[in-house]
Amino acid sequence: MNFDEIAPGVHVLRYPVLDVNVTLIVGAEAAMVVDTLATPSQALELVAAIRTVTDRPLTVVNTHAHFDHCFGNAVVVEASPGATVRAHPSTVEAFAGDGVQLRRAAYEEARTLAPEIADQVATTVLWAPDTAVAEQETVELGDRTVVLHYFGRGHTAGDLVVHVPDAATVVAGDLVEEGAPPSFSDSYPLEWPDTLTGVLALQPSVVVPGHGAVVNRDFVGQQRADLSRLEWLIRDGDRVGAPAETVAAEAPFPREAALTAVRRGYAALAGTL
């Protein structure tokens, strides 16, 4: 399991379980790790892979609060004592109260998606992000800067986007998915297209999705168009009182994903999300 350099000093590790991406951005004085995988043992493999690329001190970003992106935090921080973990305030909030609820939700999700790691997920010692980024923050890595952005709700309430301007690269978390439909279980489908407009405005050449192969701006544009079509199907369906199943059948996504999205969209319009 190794990192591939996808742009100068920007490395991506595509982890086979759940096909998750971790991004490593290496500067002269520090390196940023974006997401930390799903379990302590996965994170140990991750740290070993990081150390084949760089021995610089680490700073961590969690793109959002789903377990496959942040349950490795404790192990990564242990490998670089004093490392800061940045995330959107809603992600920080998700870790509140010892993260009991977060771990429970993660266990249920893992049982369905990757049962072989469900028990490990359930017993992971969580490490909460310590630095909330509500809108934007610039992080210095020595000879280069990285900018964290929050463009609004989409895949979750708190998707942070990482921009590496000198490499025209954006790490989009699960706002962009390759190889599988976007995941709608905690989504805001009526707001997701506008959030992706923010991502596209950065004019990236390279975009690292939360899962799957690295993509380009055109891919993100197509995903935005599909999500926009979905948004208007939901709004039209709501206006005429169409059953969620009928609307989902029209959507440019697989039926089950679309049905989850339509139900979330209807709930948003009803004010019950």
Q: Give the residues lining the site for Zn ion (CB under 5 A).
A: 66, 174
Q: How far is the CB of 64 from Zn ion (least distance, A)?
A: 6
The CB-of-185 to Zn ion minimum distance in angstroms stands at 8
- Distance CA(213)–CA(76), nearest Å, equals 24
Question: Of 18 and 26, which has the nearer Cβ to Zn ion?
Answer: 18
Question: CB 160 → Zn ion: shortest distance, Å?
Answer: 12
Closer CB to Zn ion, 18 or 31, in the complex: 18
> What's the min distance (Å) between Cβ of 140 and Zn ion?
28
Rg (CA), the chain: 18
Question: Cβ closer to Zn ion: 69 or 163?
Answer: 69
For Zn ion, the closer of residues 66 and 264 by Cβ is: 66
For Zn ion, the closer of residues 155 and 163 by Cβ is: 155
CA distance 173 to 32: 15
CA 124 to each of CA 106, 127, 183, 210: distance values in angstroms, whole numbers, following the listed order: 10, 9, 23, 21
Q: Report in angstroms how near the CB of residue 19 gets to Zn ion at its nearest.
A: 12
Q: DSSP assignment of 90-128, as one string?
A: HHHHHT-GGGHHHHHHHHHHHHHH-GGGHHHHHTPPP--
Smallest distance, Å, CB 155 to Zn ion?
A: 6
* For Zn ion, the closer CB: 59 or 63: 63
For residue 60, the cross-strand partners are 33, 85
Q: C-alpha angle with apex 188: 186 to 189, nearest 5 degrees? A: 115
Letter for the amino acid at 243? P
